[in-house]
Structure 1
Amino acid sequence: MSQLKDQSAAGSTRRTFIKQAAAVTAVTGAGSIIKTPVYGQNQAPSTGRVIGANDRINVGFVGVGNQGFNTHVRQIKNNEAKHNVQATAACDVFSEYRDRAQEFMGVKSGNVYNDHRKLLERRDIDAVVIATVDHWHAPVAIESMEAGKHVLIEKPMTRYLSEGFDVYDTCKRTKRVMQIGAVFCLEKKWHKAAQLVRDGMIGPLVLGQSSYCRNSPKGEWNYTINPKLTDASVDWKRWLGSTGTRPFNADHFFRWRKYNHYCCGILGDLLAHKIHPLMIASGNPEFPNRVACLGTKEITTDRDVPDNTQVLANFPSGYTLMVVGSTVNQQGLPEMLRGHHGTLYFGGDKVDLKPETPFGDEIDPESFSGLKPSGADFVAEHADWFDVIRNGGETKGNIDLSMRAQVVISLAEISERMSLTLLFDEKSRKITTGTGQEVQPLNYPA
């Protein structure tokens, strides 16, 4: 069965989205996004170098634009001694970004690349940070793990759902260490909450709520366009990748988060930061079994994606997650985790436990403060990844958490764009409506 291809919301219809329940699942189809992989999918993956507790880790970077450079190249380079790592090589399709990374890292020109596959051929590179545009996350991550490299993938993990499962399956098969670039996963308060939930301190979970709201008068993601970007200074065809063919467009290159071809907007950029932590706080992250999402763009109309979004996700345990996002109003919701017996309130590096009135005689109010790390601590995010590479275990943003969060994000996008409430079966990986009709996930054009 051919998969549904991405298209603008205005041109989409329910009829093209919904398939009968007897249709064959399309989970495996996203493998076609990798047109010419360096490492054949039928070959055994490279095992990579065995890294001991005291060994230096050599890091490569794919995608060194604003996020890739400032959050990852700069932070890792500045903390090489602390982490016992070396910023070794970088890749980007824009020559200006390559040159900036080369200069800051202090490496020779032979260590920067236009094509990530050249970087992956290097046996001295142990780990790869992937901070490309979203539609390149999956192919670079899969090829990196096949080459024996550990990966840190910026959020969201992938552009579409089926390729998310390709990343998930590859990670499980190759046994590489994966970290999602949703930095608030490192905040200790969410892990403290998880322990309190597992200890039964607030009773059965009812609702987790959070938000990520901004107000951008000139329109969110309308970043400055660098005049040095021309069709001669960027490999435009490679940047487009599997999203289709279109003429060179500097607005798309720098402001890609506004367009469905490359991004799901608030859901992937902002709410990913809240969905992952609330799933951690539940004490037992699950795949959702029902997702609904609303979205509007009545204020900023220069884009495909909404400027106002609300997500509800139900889980098999009965837990419900509610997250709200906006780029046109900055007032958010208080962060809390509601249980039948008590409620956890989150703020800064603190968690407050307050009993529900009927259970006041059974539960004492408590406050837990000084929970570090707190906030957007990228040094902690990198340290966690490197520690697990050396010593084993699971990163705070591990592949199991990331895949479950990706299902929420991907189903929310489909729900919003098609005005549908969606059901998900984790065993079959199928999406259906309440009447049992199968819904094909969004995917790239053929």
Structure 2
Amino acid sequence: MNTLNRRMFLKAASVTAAGSLAGVTLPMFAAGADEQARTIAKNDHLQIALIGAGIQGQHDTQSALQVPGIKLLAVADCYQGRLDRSKELWGNDLFTTRDYSEILARKDIDAVIIATPDHWHKQAAVDAMRAGKDVYCEKPMIHLYSDGPEIIETARATNRIIQIGSQRVSSVVYAKAKELLAAGSIGQLNTVTARWDRNSAMGAWNYTVPLDASPETCDWERFQGTAPKIPFNPEHFFQWRKWKAYGSGVAGDLFVHLFSGTHFVTNTLGPTRAMATGGLRFWKDGRDVPDVMLALFDYAEGFNLSLRVNFVDGGEESEGLIFTGSEGTIEIAGNTVILSRVPLQKAPGYTINTFTDAMQKRILEGYRQKYPVSHEADTTSPEYEKYVAPAGYSDSYDHFKNFFQSVKTRTPVVEDAVFGFRAAGAALLSNLSYERDSIIHWDPTKMKVV
């Protein structure tokens, strides 16, 4: 460990990953907690169910089942093929259904994973909490702004634990970046630049449609939910992210991850102003959401955030964040954090060479007295530190481990519904700005469009 690493890490305040933020919190009530704890103790494990067994739902469940003491009892999905696949993955004794209310009626299930299309997140989460289940809900937490307050209030009223699925909040990589920033390693933060670019048909949401897709194998009526009613459409069913009736575009799918990471690292409540542009630049296949979006955000803490998603980036998939301060940068790329420090040079400006020798000497002497060391500091060789997460590290595993620990102990989660609403609410400002072709103002404390 070099000198820079020791100095910055010793200065750092302890990193906390508590999801409840200043101004609005989700308190943990005692009511019902003892009964929940007794049930878990009796089973000696947590019994869970999955609602929405698509690609993210299956990935989430695989991660959850790696945590010791977790047992999957049931799966709900609107496509019969995914119910059959669930039994192939997790056993023929698995209970499967197209109607998640059958799962919520079961007394032997402690918690559910909700990985439905976005337009079902709110209703499924509210129904689950009212049924006495703790909830792990995929991001974005909301599809509409009105979803947020209802989810938060239901969690309060039912005393249920809910964690939102932006796993960066549990990541040791993001925790390291948070530690470095809090230690003042890059001076005063002024910009955050983040991107998530892709260059593949599958990455652009052109998911495979199974050969047996039909009204018989797909519960189309249930899938549509609150969306406008149209005749059965297999593309809408299996490629739902391409339509705003079911999804939230690149902002809800990808910007929300970048917001979660930024908010966690900087400990902010969210932006105050947003502006976005973009359009359908390449994937003109009937979708009604952009495949390129760029957005800018102002933060009251004194920094700006710029975000970009490009579904035709001409190269490999690329995700990353760069925190830029007055004395350096912190870059997050995959499971790596890179700190590069170039202390702010305090020296006469370039125009000094245009003055007389006598004037130059007087100015330099003044700088020596005011800055006895810094004006002569070598700024040509930046200080550099690199942190890499352990091989095979999974923040998804850590996120589920943290969630299940909260369920067992009835303690606050690392990413509660308030944090989730602030991240998703900020992300959806991009869609609002794009649709209105205007700047949108946001109150991050009250979580409202101004």
Instruction: State the match for 1:68 in structure 2.
Output: 57
CA distance in 2, matches of 1:146, 1:240: 22
Farther off after superposition, 153-162 or 247-256? 153-162
Task: Look up the equivalent residue of 2:130 and give its one-letter code.
Answer: E
Percent identity reads 28
2:64–2:401: 8 Å Cα contact kept in structure 1?
Answer: no
CA distance in 2, matches of 1:253, 1:73: 21
2:49–2:109: 8 Å Cα contact kept in structure 1?
Answer: yes
1:423 aligns with 2:424: no
Instruction: State the match for 1:155 in structure 2.
Output: 139
Task: Look up the equivalent residue of 2:176 and give its one-letter code.
Answer: K
CA distance in 1, matches of 2:277, 2:391: 33
Matched position secondary structure for 1:389: helix
Instruction: State the match for 2:307 in structure 1.
Output: 323
Change beyond 3 A, Cα 1:49–1:184:
same
CA distance in 1, matches of 2:319, 2:86: 38
1:269: how far off?
1.6
CA distance in 1, matches of 2:448, 2:333: 37
Task: Look up the equivalent residue of 1:398 and give its one-letter code.
Answer: D
Task: Look up the equivalent residue of 1:61 and give its one-letter code.
Answer: L
Change beyond 3 A, Cα 1:218–1:349:
closer
CA distance in 1, matches of 2:251, 2:322: 20
For residues 237-386 of structure 1, the aligned pairs below 5 Å read 237-282=221-266, 284-302=267-285, 303-330=287-314, 335-358=321-344, 361=374, 365-372=383-390, 377-386=395-404
1:292–1:312: 8 Å Cα contact kept in structure 2?
Answer: yes
Instruction: State the match for 1:40 in structure 2.
Output: none
Where does the alignment leave 5 or more consecutive residues of structure 2 unmatched?
1-30, 347-373
1:183–1:376: 8 Å Cα contact kept in structure 2?
Answer: no
Q: CA RMSD in A?
A: 2.8
1:112: how far off?
1.6
Where does the alignment leave 5 or more consecutive residues of structure 1 unmatched?
1-44, 433-446
Task: Look up the equivalent residue of 2:439 and give its one-letter code.
Answer: T
Farther off after superposition, 97-106 or 51-60? 51-60
Farther off after superposition, 219-228 or 237-246? 219-228
1:206: how far off?
1.1
Question: Could you report, residue by residue, the CA deviation over 1:274-319 in whole angstroms, capped at 9, with x for unpaired residues?
Answer: 221122111x131321111112112211111111111222222123
1:93 aligns with 2:111: no
2:118–2:248: 8 Å Cα contact kept in structure 1?
Answer: no
Task: Look up the equivalent residue of 1:384 and give its one-letter code.
Answer: N
Change beyond 3 A, Cα 1:288–1:203:
same
Instruction: State the match for 1:234 in structure 2.
Output: 218
2:209–2:235: 8 Å Cα contact kept in structure 1?
Answer: yes
Task: Look up the equivalent residue of 1:57 and give its one-letter code.
Answer: L
Question: Could you report, residue by residue, the CA deviation over 1:255-289 in whole angstroms, capped at 9, with x for unpaired residues?
Answer: 1111111112211222222221122111x131321
Question: Could you report, residue by residue, the CA deviation over 1:178-197 in whole angstroms, capped at 9, with x for unpaired residues?
Answer: 33222333321211222232
Matched position secondary structure for 1:228: coil
2:291–2:311: 8 Å Cα contact kept in structure 1?
Answer: yes
1:134: how far off?
0.9
2:192–2:324: 8 Å Cα contact kept in structure 1?
Answer: yes
Question: Normalising to structure 2: TM-score of the pair?
Answer: 0.77
CA distance in 2, matches of 1:330, 1:375: 28
Question: Normalising to structure 1: TM-score of the pair?
Answer: 0.78
1:254: how far off?
0.8
Instruction: State the match for 2:3 in structure 1.
Output: none
Task: Look up the equivalent residue of 1:346 and give its one-letter code.
Answer: I
1:429: how far off?
4.2
1:426: how far off?
4.0
For residues 45-124 of structure 1, the aligned pairs below 5 Å read 49-50=36-37, 51=40, 55-69=44-58, 71-77=59-65, 79=66, 82-108=67-93, 111-124=95-108
1:209–1:323: 8 Å Cα contact kept in structure 2?
Answer: yes
State which structure, 1 or 2, has the greater radius of gyration over its C-alpha atoms.
Answer: 2
